[in-house]
Each structure stands twice: as C-alpha cells, then as structure tokens.
C-alpha cells in the first residue's frame, strides 16, 4: 500500500552495464596510482593552480548537479506541491550518490587525507572564519542526511520482502523514523542552502586574483540559484534516462513545470549579473575580446536559450525538455568552471589543463555513480510507475 515505488528488477550485468563497470574500474585503478605516486606525478596541478578538475568538476559542479534532491524537496515540502512526489526518491538517490562521490573526490584531491578525520572531530581547533570549513562540515552532514532520507526505501524493501521478521522490524522502526524524517528533511533543505551558496563565497578569498566578471559579493547568491537550476536540470536528465533505459512512463506535465521553475532561476541569474556588472562599474570587461569575456557570453547564451524555449512554450516533448535541461546544466557547469579556473588568475607563467589521470578519475567517478544508481533502482523501490513485468533494459 505504502510505496508506489517498486524495484525495477531484471538482470544487472547487461553488456552496457559491463562497459560502465570497465570505465569505473579504470577510474579506481587511476585513484590507486594517484595514492601510490603522489599528486605531482599524476596531476597537472601546480602552485599557481592548486585546484583543478577534481575540485571544479567533481566537487563544485558535481554537488550542484546533485542538487536534484534539494530542489525537488523545496517544491515538495516547502511549497507543498504534492504532484512532485514520484520524483523525490530518485532525486534523493542521485543526490546521495553525487555528494558521496564528491566527498571521495575531496579525499583524493587533498595532499594529506589521513588527517581529514580531524575536520569534523577536532571542534576545538575549528577556524570559525574558514568558509572552506563550513562547506566541508556541511557537505559531510548532508551526505549523512541524504542516506537517512533514503532509509524508507530500505524499509519498504523489507516490508515487501515476504520475510515476516524483516517486515515486522520495518514496521517497528517506521513510526519513529517518520517523525524524525520531518527534521531530517528540514535539515536536507537547510544544509544545501548553506553550502551551495558558500561554495561561491569560497572564491571570494582569492580577492584580486579573481577576474572582475565573476568577482562579486553576490557570488554566494548566484551559486545558490544556479545550483537549484542545475538540480532541476539533473532531475529532467534522470527521468529521461530512466524512461529510456527502463521504459518507465514519464509525466511530461510535471517535468515541464519543473523546467519552468529552472528557467525562471536562469533568467534571474542572467538579469542580475548584468545589473551587478553595471553597479560595480566593470561592464567594460565583458566587451573585450578575451577568453573570460567570450566565456561569460557563452554562459549567458546557455542560460538564455532554455528560458526562451520555455517562454515560447517549445518545451513540449521529452526531446525538447531534455535539450533545455542540457543547456541549463552546461550553463551552470561553465559558470562554475569559470569562477574556479578561468576567472582565477595566479599571475604570469602559470597554466593548467587537466592531466589524463585527472580526467580518468573524474570520468571513472561518474561511471561509479551510474553503476550504483542502476544497481540500486533495480534492487530497491526508488522509481515509481514501474511496470508489473520487469523490462530487460539497458542493453
């Protein structure tokens, strides 16, 4: 009765799944190499560019794309839009996986990972002024929150398992879990609001090294809004993917309204950035013919196109929904890359382009996420609208 969500079931080790596993395995092997050989031998990082692909992509972009759970939770619980219900569980799952892997990426990136445990534990040593500390502690807490938010799926599986003992245990835990989940859910909205905005605040410490186009005191607000937009875009991706891969019915109406919310966010960002450039008197910077200016315009085009598509009601088919989601996600991704890498100027003589091992690790982590997602939705009741007969999907 309780859950309309059901496991997908079906064979796990399909040929395409094996390809994903292979890519993941290459990534894991590269991670082992990174620890064996050190950061200098495996990355293109330098004293000028101490942060590269792993921070900019896996953490800063990765967690924003993992904001689906956050974005849907806002609609669902704060604005009480019940129609988004079927989307929350898969969204929370992608968020949990995305954030967990971002945490792993941090452990791979830092030079002295064996001391990381001190960050959440040694409270008496906390530098309370450190924005990075806030981001780190917030993200760690949010990973825990996300996995707790997924426990109802585990209980549902126990209930459905047919084993009397498991079923009874599930029923015993459920009432108190339901009560706790209210506060956990609230935490699940508070924490991303804090750390997604603070990811923007982070780069303000680069001060004059950060290009004026991105160097605004409104960086936290812009990061927050774009993270919500990217979260919605990721939900559209994910729904498209599961409808293609598992043959699930998709509710275009729901996806369409989600896309409208994201488009409003994108429009606000674009409008606000121009006002902000004008107020700070640096509008001239975006009319120069240099790389930062060109990338600034590409960011804005990527944000404006989906807004136009939505405004002209062109987002009616799954294909056009998907296209506008891709544009939004790319816009947000580029905006983050530019703030962390392109807009960051450590001075003359420094260059950065990710090394092959860096790329293999990033791609590998995405593959790990995908593999885990598929395995989990096949085993646990995450997706709604599952057909009674299990489809043999992802072949």
Q: Which of residues 148-207 bind another protein (CB under 8 A)?
A: 149, 152, 156, 178, 181-183, 185-187, 189-190, 193-194, 198, 201-207
Q: Which is nearer to another protein, 45 or 266 (CB)?
A: 45
> Is 212 among the residues that bind another protein (CB under 8 A)?
no
Q: Which of residues 115-134 bind another protein (CB under 8 A)?
A: 115-116, 118-119, 122, 125-127, 129-134
> Is 225 among the residues that bind another protein (CB under 8 A)?
no
Q: Which is nearer to another protein, 198 or 227 (CB)?
A: 198
Count residues near another protein (CB under 8 A).
76
Q: Are 234 and 191 in contact (CB under 8 A)?
A: no
Q: Are 197 and 221 in contact (CB under 8 A)?
A: yes
Q: Say how many Å lie between the first and final Cα of the chain, rounded.
A: 32
Q: Which is nearer to another protein, 215 or 226 (CB)?
A: 215
Structure-derived torsion over alpha carbons of residues 374, 380, 385, 389, reported in degrees to the nearest 10: 80
Q: How far apart are CA 56 and CA 54, in angstroms?
A: 6
The number of residues in the chain equals 395
The gap from C-alpha 83 to its chain's centroid, in whole angstroms, comes to 23
Residue 181, beta-bridge partner list: none
Considering only the stretches 38-46, 60-68, 257-265, 323-331, report the one whose residues sit in contact with another protein under the rule CB under 8 A: 38-46
Smallest distance from the beta carbon of 306 to another protein, in angstroms?
26
Of 306, 228, 220, give the one whose Cα is nearest residue 267.
306
> Is 5 among the residues that bind another protein (CB under 8 A)?
yes
Of 361, 206, 212, give the one whose Cα is nearest residue 277.
212
> Is 242 among the residues that bind another protein (CB under 8 A)?
no
Q: Return the residue of 16, 22, 111, 356 that touches another protein, per CB under 8 A.
A: 111
For 245-312, the three-class secondary structure string (H helix, E strand, C coil) is HHCCCCCHHHHHHHHHHHHHHHHHHHHHHHHHHHHCCCHHHHHCCCHHHHHHHHHHHHHHHHHHHHHC
Q: Which is nearer to another protein, 206 or 240 (CB)?
A: 206
Considering only the stretches 40-48, 231-239, 283-291, 360-368, report the one whose residues sit in contact with another protein under the rule CB under 8 A: 40-48
> Is 89 among the residues that bind another protein (CB under 8 A)?
yes
Q: Which is nearer to another protein, 189 or 326 (CB)?
A: 189
Q: Which of residues 260-319 bind another protein (CB under 8 A)?
A: none
Smallest distance from the beta carbon of 317 to another protein, in angstroms?
26
Binding-site string for another protein from residue 340 to residue 359, where x marks contact by CB under 8 A and - marks none: ----x-xx------------
Structure-derived torsion over alpha carbons of residues 51, 57, 59, 61, reported in degrees to the nearest 10: 130
> Is 220 among the residues that bind another protein (CB under 8 A)?
yes
> Is 234 among the residues that bind another protein (CB under 8 A)?
no
Q: Which is nearer to another protein, 194 or 309 (CB)?
A: 194
Smallest distance from the beta carbon of 259 to another protein, in angstroms?
21
> Is 257 among the residues that bind another protein (CB under 8 A)?
no
- The string of DSSP codes covering 125-168 is G--TT-HHHHHHHHHHHHHHHHHHHHHHHHHHHHHHT--HHHHH
For the four alpha carbons of 234, 236, 239 and 243, in that order, the dihedral sign comes to negative
Q: Return the residue of 102, 136, 225, 302 that touches another protein, per CB under 8 A.
A: 136
Q: Which tokens in the block code for residue 59?
A: 């953490």
> Is 85 among the residues that bind another protein (CB under 8 A)?
yes
Q: Which is nearer to another protein, 11 or 172 (CB)?
A: 172
Q: Return the residue of 33, 77, 147, 272 that touches another protein, per CB under 8 A.
A: 77
285: how many CB neighbours lie within 10 A of its CB? 16
Q: Which of residues 8-37 bind another protein (CB under 8 A)?
A: 35
């Amino acid at each position: 009765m309780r859950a309309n969500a059901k496991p997908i079931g079906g064979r796990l080790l399909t040929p395409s799944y094996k390809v994903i596993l292979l890519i993941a395995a290459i990534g894991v092997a590269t991670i082992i190499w990174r620890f064996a050989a050190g950061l200098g031998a495996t990355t293109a990082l330098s004293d000028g560019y101490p942060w590269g692909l792993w921070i900019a992509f896996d953490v800063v972009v990765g967690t924003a794309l993992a904001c689906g759970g956050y974005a849907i939770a806002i609609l669902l619980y704060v604005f009480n839009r019940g129609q988004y219900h079927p989307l929350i569980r898969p969204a929370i799952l992608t968020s949990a996986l995305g954030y967990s892997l971002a945490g792993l990426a941090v452990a791979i990136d830092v030079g002295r990972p064996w001391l990381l445990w001190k960050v959440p534990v040694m409270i008496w040593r906390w530098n309370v002024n450190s924005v990075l500390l806030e981001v780190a502690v917030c993200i760690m807490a949010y990973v825990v929150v996300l996995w707790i938010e997924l426990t109802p799926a585990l209980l549902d599986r126990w209930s459905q398992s047919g084993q009397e003992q498991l079923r009874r245990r599930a029923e015993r835990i459920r009432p108190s879990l339901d009560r706790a989940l209210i506060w956990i859910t609230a935490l699940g909205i508070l924490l991303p609001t804090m750390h997604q905005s603070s990811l923007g605040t982070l780069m303000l410490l680069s001060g004059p090294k950060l290009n004026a186009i991105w160097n605004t005191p409104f960086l936290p607000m812009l990061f927050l809004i774009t993270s919500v937009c990217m979260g919605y875009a990721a939900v559209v991706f994910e729904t498209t993917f599961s409808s293609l891969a598992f043959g699930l019915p998709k509710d275009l109406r729901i996806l369409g309204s989600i896309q409208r919310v994201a488009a409003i966010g994108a429009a606000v960002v674009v409008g606000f950035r121009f006002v902000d450039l004008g107020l700070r008197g640096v509008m001239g910077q975006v009319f120069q013919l240099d790389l930062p200016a060109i990338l600034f315009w590409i960011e804005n085009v990527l944000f404006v196109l989906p807004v136009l598509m939505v405004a002209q009601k062109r987002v009616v088919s799954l294909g056009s929904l998907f296209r506008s989601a891709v544009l939004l996600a790319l816009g947000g991704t580029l905006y983050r890359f530019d703030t962390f890498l392109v807009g960051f100027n450590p001075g003359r003589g420094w260059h950065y382009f990710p090394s092959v091992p860096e790329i293999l690790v990033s791609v590998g982590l995405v593959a790990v996420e995908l593999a885990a997602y598929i395995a989990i939705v096949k085993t646990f009741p995450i997706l709604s609208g599952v057909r009674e007969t299990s489809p043999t999907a992802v072949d």
